[in-house]
Amino acid sequence: MKKVDLVIKNGRIIMADGEMEGNVYVQSGKIAGLGHLDVAAEKSIDASNLLVMPGMFEAHAHLMDPAETDREDMPTGTAAAAAQGVTTLIEHSHCTAVRSGAEFVLKKEYLENRSVIDFGIGAHFPTDSIDRIGEVIREGAAFIKVFTCTTHGIPGVATGDLYAGMSRYGDTRIPFLIHAEDDSLTASAEKQLRSAVRSDGGIIPQWRNLLAETVAAQSVVTIAEASGALTILAHCSHPEVFKIAEKARQRGVRVWTETCPQYIALKEDDVLTEGAFRKFTPPNRIQSEADVEAIWGCIGDGAYFASDHAPSTRAQKKGGSVWEVPFGLPGLDTTFRFLLDSAAKGRISYPMLVELYSRRPARLYGYYPRKGTLLPGADADIVLVDPDSEYEMTDEMVISKAGWTPYAGRTFRGRAKAVFLRGKKIAENGACVAKPGTGKFLAPHR
């Protein structure tokens, strides 16, 4: 190696296993070396006083494309992601659910020229025949999404069907990403609240209550154990849910937990004043600083972070009663900011941040070591971070079509200065500078 395309010099290189001072060398879109090598470079970037991290891996995002593009679309959502350090994203949307090989191919072809960053696609558990799971796996699905309860218009999967699907396809190593809420518990809570003629924000945590989540999580973990399938509990909201998974992990069950900033950074009582603007499910259940501590305490070896980006505009959130308006929050604009701020405050180390929002999800979904690391041979997906920059978050900074964020008015420390996808700069100072089509569809390797 005599000359490389790019060197990023003098940064503090952060990877999940630890950190080092030095240079990152990029050749033909791949990491060519780390440290201090005796090679010239076509282009050089000084990263003094900056952190140099692998690109973030966003495993749970709904970009609503093509069916509900008034809420979000692939070009806008991936631009928001790129600006905040995310270089790979797995898309799955309930309005464009993929349940067969043919539907998978259609969606892949449609999205091919619409993404700024590399992307995978998640499929939904098929309701007609579990044979379809084999089809989407062959086409390159990143996971199978399962609802245990009918939500967002997606029918809940009966436990028997789930067991059949997970047993039959468990040895393919495809993850089953499970939205766990018990259908009959949420239904009976809904019935009670409606007969009391309630329509205040306070219905949300009572309707989507913790018991419904723990009952479903317990059942899913039991099915995971019986089937042997790789199982991920999506958006865990409370320590009780983590504990169910952790106990099972300790006896060797392949179960993992996903969580999101909103379960730590927002408070349950916000629904009383914010109403539909805090309507997402499972809802946030944090009431005190002790609860915040408790949930951080659950984020260990078996957990990772995702945004669960499911945006609606302000008008859409105000478009009906709290029962009627869509669930979900915008999250791609703020997940990396929240994690950088958490690291700046010493909640997690920077290597742990990389583990939780880059390497671990990349591994679980079959994209490591191409993604999730800066080791030589990996794609040159790189984020340069100024760890000390402090700023106030505003709605105006949001790129998502949502146009608002639940974190407006908060101070965050640490920001993405520049983001590279396969060696090409795609974002700078909070703005996306790449065109849709820059990112490519990637199938997982298992």
Is 138 in contact with 151 (CB distance < 8 Å)? no
Q: CB of residue 254 vs Zn ion: minimum separation in angstroms?
A: 21
Q: Which is nearer to Zn ion, 126 or 326 (CB)?
A: 326
- Radius of gyration over every alpha carbon of the chain, rounded to an integer in angstroms: 21
The sign one gets for the Cα dihedral 88, 94, 99, 102 is: negative
Is 184 in contact with 214 (CB distance < 8 Å)? no
Q: Which is nearer to Zn ion, 22 or 122 (CB)?
A: 122
Q: CB of residue 353 vs Zn ion: minimum separation in angstroms?
A: 22
Q: Which is nearer to Zn ion, 94 or 415 (CB)?
A: 94
Q: Which helix (H) or strand (E) holds 170?
A: none
Q: Which is nearer to Zn ion, 152 or 413 (CB)?
A: 152
The sign one gets for the Cα dihedral 35, 37, 42, 47 is: positive
What is the total count of residues that contact Zn ion (CB under 5 A)? 1
Q: CB of residue 310 vs Zn ion: minimum separation in angstroms?
A: 6
Three-state SS at 76: helix
Token pair in block for residue 98: 């993929």
Q: CB of residue 433 vs Zn ion: minimum separation in angstroms?
A: 28
> Given the structure tokens 């997606």, which residue do they identify?
154
Q: CB of residue 281 vs Zn ion: minimum separation in angstroms?
A: 9
Q: Which is nearer to Zn ion, 304 or 350 (CB)?
A: 304
Q: Which is nearer to Zn ion, 13 or 123 (CB)?
A: 123
Token pair in block for residue 307: 């945004």
Binding to Zn ion in span 306-345, by CB under 5 A: 308
Q: CB of residue 33 vs Zn ion: minimum separation in angstroms?
A: 38
Token pair in block for residue 24: 């990152």
- Kindly write out the interface string for residues 279-308 of this chain, putting x where it contacts Zn ion by CB under 5 A and - elsewhere: -----------------------------x
The answer to the question of residue 379 lying near Zn ion (CB under 5 A) is no
Q: Which is nearer to Zn ion, 309 or 422 (CB)?
A: 309
Three-state SS at 122: coil
Residue (of 275, 178, 285) closest to 237 by Cα position: 285
Q: CB of residue 349 vs Zn ion: minimum separation in angstroms?
A: 28
For residue 288, give every residue at least 6 positions away whose Cβ sits within 8 Å of its Cβ, in sequence order, or none.
Answer: none
> Which spans of this chain sit near Zn ion (rule: CB under 5 A)?
308
